[in-house]
Amino acid sequence: MSALMARVRAIPSWQLTLFVALLALGFLVAAQLATEAPRVRYTTQERTPLVETAGELLAQQDALKVAVLDLRAQIQEAEGAGTGSAAVVAELNDQLQEARIAAGLIALTGTGIVLQLEDSLEPAAPDANEGDYLVGSLDLRTVIEELWTAGAEAIAINGERITPTSAIIDIGPSVLVNSAYLAPPYQVTALGPPDLYARLSASPGWVDFIIARAQKYGIRVQFAEPESVDIPAFVGTVTLRYARPEATSSPAPLSDPEG
Amino acid sequence: MHRRRNQLTIAAVAFVLGLLVIVQLRAQAGGAAFAGLSSQELTVLVANLNARNDQLRREVATLERELATLVQNEQRGDASIDELRADLRRVRLYARLDAAVGPGVTITIRGPIDGSGVEALVNELRNAGAEALAIEAIRLVPGVVVSGAPADVSVDGLLLGDPLVIHAIGAPDKLTGSLTRSGGIIAQLAATQPDVLVEVLPIDTVRVPATDRDLVPENGRPRL
């Protein structure tokens, strides 16, 4: 034993350093190869610039959202300070505030619940579709419909306000809401009456959803009833390009065929 | 001399080691950001993000113009009544508080479709940029839900007949293309609900009514 120690001590220190460095190098090379399956190696070349572009676009989106919110606040302040007939300005501002709340352009706080949906942790059955074990756009649309039916008055998913124009679509294992990229876990915040959760859990549609998704595939659904919930404002364009106000409101839709 | 060569060897190994650590960390960070998305899905994501950012840029430009006019008026001591009214018109139209008119499509559905089938069509229309939607005479706003079993579909509690018609304002070609594309929502419905027939008709002038719902929440107040 002492002979072995003596031999180790006799090895120059630079050789020991080199040995440790080469060991780490070998480990890293192996780790690099292990994390890249052949298919991934094949697609990395085109995937990397796309990931970078998407990241840059998300950062731009965040900055643009801040700019929109800031401008809206400035406009609201300027409109409130408008000169002219004080009564007319006050009346118009009241109407504007009400319209903005109706449009989802004002952040709200009030009673409500938060639901969290997460992908299943259960292993997929051999003949099953792996997508069934993930939270998808259809799950989120179902939850939103059930919340509206239960009496929710405003809803947001991971900070994206649901508006009259909100579409929810799948993109791989994630979703797009208002064309914003959202990844699980999904927190669905709903503002509504204090008994919103009681109403939701009594709904046959909600029970069906829990049986079909949570019990069958292990989709994880949790809920919280905080003292109050915050719903963010919708940050997007409210300027419509094709729709314009009709001069006189018609009681029912009437579409004129082309030509 | 011998010692110098050893040092150089260690330096070279350390350099390669550092390089590999960075590559490994970057690969892991990049993967985590959009884990599970294929190149094709990333392309769709980039297109969507570009579209949303373009919309946001247009909104910023509109709001900047609006703010500049308000500030000018204030400096001149002029009233901004016209600007307030224009802003009110714009927001009311978006909020579905006013009836709207514009180009778009009508979708006529014949056969025993169920509520989720109609919701899927509406979701696809929204994804294709529909700006205003109505099912028969019911304007679609947050809170209005289409539900029910096949041939027993209701919207906002109103039982719908057969055929039922969806009215959508938006770019007619884009709305039509999105619905009727190969593998799109109509093709999916044809596979899952083969007795249902969906017809899309581009229209010059679609009219949708104002909502009759009170959209101001009773249980919420503006967050300051």
**Given pLDDT bands bounded at 50, 70 and 90, which one contains residue A29?**
low
Same-domain pairing of A23 and A114: no
Q: Enumerate the domain spans of chain B.
A: 39-94, 100-208
Same-domain pairing of A132 and A222: yes
Could you tell me if residue A79 is inside a domain?
A: yes
Same-domain pairing of A44 and A131: no
State how far residue A125 is from chain B, nearest Cα, in angstroms. Answer: 20
| B34 closest CB neighbour out of A51, A105, A165 | A51
Q: What is the DSSP letter of A114?
A: E
Could you tell me if residue A139 is inside a domain?
A: yes
The residue range of the domain holding A13 is 7-35
pTM of the model: 0.80
Q: What ipTM was predicted for this assembly?
A: 0.82
Same-domain pairing of A49 and A152: no
- Judged by CB atoms closer than 8 Å, whether chains meet at A243 and B102 is answered as yes
Could you tell me if residue A247 is inside a domain?
A: no
- Judged by CB atoms closer than 8 Å, whether chains meet at A96 and B84 is answered as yes
Same-domain pairing of A67 and A155: no
Could you tell me if residue A241 is inside a domain?
A: no
Beta strands in A192-255 (DSSP E): 220-224, 229-231, 244-245
Could you tell me if residue A239 is inside a domain?
A: no
- Judged by CB atoms closer than 8 Å, whether chains meet at B58 and A48 is answered as no
- B100-208 is a CATH 3.30.300.30 domain: no
Number of separate domains in chain A: 3
Q: To which H or E segment does residue A168 belong?
A: strand A168-171
Q: Would you say A76 and B66 are in contact if contact means Cβ atoms under 8 Å apart?
A: no
* CATH code of A171's domain: 3.30.70.1880
Could you tell me if residue A56 is inside a domain?
A: yes
In a structure prediction context, what are the per-residue pLDDT tens digits for chain B, which is 224 residues long?
566 777 777 777 677 767 666 655 555 544 456 878 888 899 989 999 998 999 999 999 999 998 998 888 878 777 678 888 999 999 999 999 999 999 999 999 999 999 999 999 999 999 999 999 999 999 999 999 999 999 899 998 899 999 999 999 999 999 999 999 999 999 999 999 999 999 999 999 999 999 999 999 999 999 87
Same-domain pairing of A85 and A156: no
Please report the pLDDT score of residue B49 as a whole number.
92
